Every structure is written in structure tokens, then in C-alpha cells.
A = this chain, B = another copy of it.
Amino acid sequence: MGNMKKYHHGNLEEALLTAGLQEAKARGPRNLGVNFLAKAVKVSPTAVYRHFLSGESLRASISQQAREELARQMLKAIATQTDVKNRFRAVGRAYINFALNEPGLFAVAFVACEEGPQREDSPSAWMVLQDSILDICNAKLIEASEVQQVASFAWATVHGFATLAGGSDPRRPKTNEKTISDLLDRTWSGIIQLGSKNSAKDKLGAN
């Protein structure tokens, strides 16, 4: 078997997703269509519809896999860190590194899909990031009421930098160590602000 030409493919669904991810790595979201991917896997376009409702849902699945790959890299980066602050930095850095090292995958991960995936992301990049914020809360550096706001802020900063730095704009930010480290420093400052929101209120006046 193995190299025998088989009529039945074996695991076409997985093969399509793999081909999609490979193409995403190489060229981004441009070619993630039914005909293209069917050709890549040496299968007729019709066969795709045995495994996906439509081209759009195939794309949604590929996009989800890209997000999950991002989440895995974030988990891997966080694994070795114990300190709350370092855990957050590791998450942020992994997010940014993913965007810089795999711009195609990153773009595909966040293309606007008409159709959402039917299962939840697992692991979920958003959850990994939020968990790192919850850790900060557990360490009493922020309050429970702040968690959502902080998560939005942190996510926005990291995602924005990743998007801009990985883009084609001539004004795009530098991507050296210093810039990224500085960005995470400033993000950390924004997260804990002036200790906590309450103490900030006490120490400062209005505005």
C-alpha cells in the first residue's frame, strides 16, 4: 500500500486542511479556494463537498487551524514561565513572533470569514491571553472588575502591533527586539496602570 494509487484517498478532510495551511504559510489567504486546494491534493473539486458544506466553510476551518496553531505557540511559550509578568510577556511575544515568522498563517487566522467555524477554537488564542490576565488578577495586581478591560487592552496592543508590523505599510513599526520589548513594557504599564485602579483614584485627582 502506501504509494499505491488508491481510489479512496484515506483522509481527504485532513489532507485538504494540511494543504490549505501549507498554502497559507506560503502565500496567505489568496488561494484558499475549492478548485485550488482540490488540485493541490490531486482530487477532483467535487470531492471536497464530501467533507465540507462549501468552500467558505473549508476556509473557515483552515482559518481556525491557523488560530489554533497560534494558540499552541502561545501555550508553549508560557509553559516555562512562572512569574505572572513574565507569563504575560511570553504570551504577547509569542503572538507577535507568530505574526512575524508566519505572516501568511497569521493573515489567514484573522481573515473575515462570513461563516464561523462550528466548533470552538481549541486551544483558543483568546483564552490563553485571557488566562494570563486572570493570573495577573489572582496575583492581586489588578482587580476582578478590570479583567475584561485589561484583556481587551492587552489583546488590542499585541494584535495591533502584530498586524501593523507584519503588514506592508512603509511606515510600519520596526520589529527588532528592543521595540518589541519596549512595547510589552508599555503594555504592562497600561495593564497595572498605577498599581490598581483604586489606589490610582486615591493618589490622583480627576481626569
Interface size classification for chain A: 35 or more
Chain B hits for A169, CB < 8 A: 126
Whole-angstrom distance between the alpha carbons of A202 and B185 in the complex? 16
Copies of this polypeptide in the complex? 2
Chain B hits for A150, CB < 8 A: 186
Tell whether, in the assembled complex, residue B112 and residue A182 are in contact, meaning their CB atoms are under 8 Å apart. no
Determine whether A45 belongs to the interface, using a CB cutoff of 8 Å to chain B: no
Which listed segment binds B: A1-9, A14-22, A73-81, A187-195? A187-195
Closest chain B residue to A181, Cβ basis: B149
List 10 A-B residue pairs with CB atoms under 8 Å apart, sorted by A's residue number.
A85-B207, A112-B168, A116-B168, A148-B174, A153-B161, A153-B183, A155-B173, A156-B156, A159-B160, A160-B161
